[in-house]
Amino acid sequence: MKTKKMMTTVAAGAILVGGLSTATAAEELTLCWAAWDPANALIELSKDFEAQSGHTMNFEFVPWTSFADRMLNELNSGGQLCDLMIGDSQWIGGGAENGHYVKLNDFFDAKGIDMNDFIPATVTGYAEWPKNTPNYYAMPAFGDVVGWTYRKDWFERPEIQAEFQDKYGRALDVPATLAELKDIAQFFQGRDIDGTTVYGAAIYTERGSEGITMGVTNALYNYGFLYENPAKPYDLEGFVNSDGAVAGLEYYKELYDTGTPPGSSNWYMGENIDAFRSGQVAMQMNFAFVWPGVEADANVGGGKSGYFPNPAGPAGQFAQLGGQGISVVAYSEKQDAALEYLQWFAKPEVQSNWWELGGYSALRSVVEDPNFATSQPYAQTFLDSMAIVKDFWAEPAYADLLIAMQQRLHNYVIAGQGTAEEALDGLTRDWTEVFEDEGKL
């Protein structure tokens, strides 16, 4: 990926300290994001900004399956469609190093916006580059994480409880470990519930974008997979393909082979939520953004469903980070007005409204409020999950790294090609080659 120099910069004094509306005239701003339920909530939330600032908000929302291709092409071409970008967490390295995103440190200092006021994992995941340095190219916008939804009403049926107890010697309950989760998926696989054949779990298997990677990592992390040697950046051998990582990949394949619906070889967020809402599965893996929709659904909401964090494995308990930060696009000619939007969005009262509308606030004053954990049936699970997150590479070459992982994982887990060890050995070679090309090895 060739580096682009930033075409525009923001001076520390470009935005005056004081009231929200500081631009000389009303502007039309375009915010780019994925097309999903939280985007609709953001439209509603942003009406307050329009009323306060006099600016008009336009929105460009693209389905997740084509979101990365569409928006990364827009950034790489220096396009001016987007003034604000809610970009995926993995884009932060490229956004910073290729000059796509405005560096926000001076603006944050001028406006008193403190990154310590946000959930630490979201600052590291969405805002910083290089990681773990105070260099900010985004503000946390939407906290998200892979977790699980389950049919609480099925779990609580006495006859199902009794049969599970007889078979496994323990009560049917929220799984504490991945091994217990697999038992539950296998227990429900092919079971008759009210005259319908149901299956164990809907998990991520999609190949075309990022799906199977976002799923498999929830097992890999918990079996000991590491992206690199903690003491030596980009040293991959023995970490990406450790014995624990191999066992984690074997686990995911067994879960797929023995506990998922027929025909689920290319499923991601949409397919999983459809399967759960239609009563096909006892559990679904999905990002937390789906939980408000589950609660509101006539078939599975209203107490019929429950939520739990990704269970622990032999090497610990972790979950794949989702979510995004909001950035000012460096090619925008309306950066002052775009920064006003960030100033408004950072306000605690706005973040509180964001949560109430179905957005996942990353502001600590919201999530650490004593009433937060009981504000929704899934709120505590969100908090527990955000405390155990890990994320995929955020390197500028992230797309090449992701393509390799998608191919290696799908070929093994879904197509049954080779062994888990061969898949991870191959991935180690692929990634090493990428980093060699990047001049990092």
User: In the structure, what pLDDT confidence band is assigned to residue 1 with cuts at 50, 70 and 90?
Assistant: very low
Given its phi and psi angles, is residue 195 left (phi above 0), alpha (psi -120 to 50 degrees) or beta?
Answer: left
Interatomic CA distance for residues 323 and 382, integer angstroms: 12
Interatomic CA distance for residues 34 and 85, integer angstroms: 10
Does 268 score more than 60 pLDDT? yes
Does residue 425 lie within any of the structural domains?
no
Say if residue 68 is in the same domain as residue 214: no
User: Between the CA atoms of 360, 388, 366 and 358, what dihedral angle is there, to the nearest 10 degrees?
Assistant: 20
Q: Which of 357, 382, 358 is nearest to 368 (CA)?
A: 382
Say if residue 340 is in the same domain as residue 274: no
Of the residues 320, 338, 365, the one at which a domain ends:
320
Does 22 score more than 70 pLDDT? no
Say if residue 213 is in the same domain as residue 309: yes
Task: Please state whether beta strands 196-202 and 281-287 pair in parallel, antiparallel, or not at all (unpaired).
Answer: parallel
Alpha helices in 310-347 (DSSP H): 335-345
Does 18 score more than 70 pLDDT? no
Determine the 3-state secondary structure of 228 from DSSP.
coil
C-alpha separations of 232 from 94, 134, 227, 228 in Å: 22, 21, 11, 7
Task: Evaluate whether 82 touches 52 at the Cβ level (below 8 Å).
Answer: no
Say if residue 113 is in the same domain as residue 43: yes
Give every CB contact of residue 206 below 8 A, 6+ residues apart in sequence: 212, 266, 267, 268, 271
Mean pLDDT over 393-421 rounds to 97
Does residue 284 lie within any of the structural domains?
yes
Structure tokens at 34: 């994925």
Say if residue 192 is in the same domain as residue 281: yes
**Residues 317-364 pLDDT 10s:** 999 999 999 999 999 999 999 999 999 999 999 999 999 999 999 999
Does residue 274 lie within any of the structural domains?
yes
Cis check: omega of the bond before 230, within 30 degrees of 0: no
Say if residue 286 is in the same domain as residue 181: yes
User: In the structure, what pLDDT confidence band is assigned to residue 65 with cuts at 50, 70 and 90?
Assistant: confident
**Residues 90-120 pLDDT 10s:** 999 999 999 999 999 999 999 999 999 999 9
Say if residue 211 is in the same domain as residue 335: no
Of the residues 320, 345, 369, the one at which a domain ends:
320
**Residues 182-236 pLDDT 10s:** 999 999 999 999 999 999 999 999 999 999 999 999 999 999 999 999 999 999 9
Report the percent of the chain where pLDDT is more than 70: 95
C-alpha separations of 218 from 4, 124, 177, 256 in Å: 34, 19, 12, 14
User: In the structure, what pLDDT confidence band is assigned to residue 8 with cuts at 50, 70 and 90?
Assistant: very low
Give every CB contact of residue 51 below 8 A, 6+ residues apart in sequence: none
Say if residue 63 is in the same domain as residue 133: yes
Does residue 4 lie within any of the structural domains?
no
What does the pLDDT read at residue 25? 86
Does residue 20 lie within any of the structural domains?
no
Say if residue 385 is in the same domain as residue 365: yes
User: In the structure, what pLDDT confidence band is assigned to residue 23 with cuts at 50, 70 and 90?
Assistant: low
What does the pLDDT read at residue 324? 98
Give 372's DSSP letter.
G
Structure tokens at 245: 């990582």
Does residue 49 lie within any of the structural domains?
yes
Does 15 score more than 70 pLDDT? no
Task: Evaluate whether 140 touches 116 at the Cβ level (below 8 Å).
Answer: no
Does 55 score more than 90 pLDDT? yes
Mean pLDDT over 243-250 rounds to 98
Does residue 151 lie within any of the structural domains?
yes
Burial class (CB in 10 A: 0-12, 13-18, 19+), 429: middle
Say if residue 383 is in the same domain as residue 273: no
What does the pLDDT read at residue 114? 98
Say if residue 180 is in the same domain as residue 307: yes
Interatomic CA distance for residues 432 and 435, integer angstroms: 5
Does 3 score more than 50 pLDDT? no
Say if residue 171 is in the same domain as residue 155: yes
Does residue 6 lie within any of the structural domains?
no
Strands (E) located in 152-280 = 191-193, 196-202
Interatomic CA distance for residues 33 and 95, integer angstroms: 15
What does the pLDDT read at residue 20? 54
Total count of domains within the chain: 2
- AA identity, residue 225: F
CATH code, 242: 3.40.190.10
Q: Which domain holds residue 67?
A: 28-144+322-390
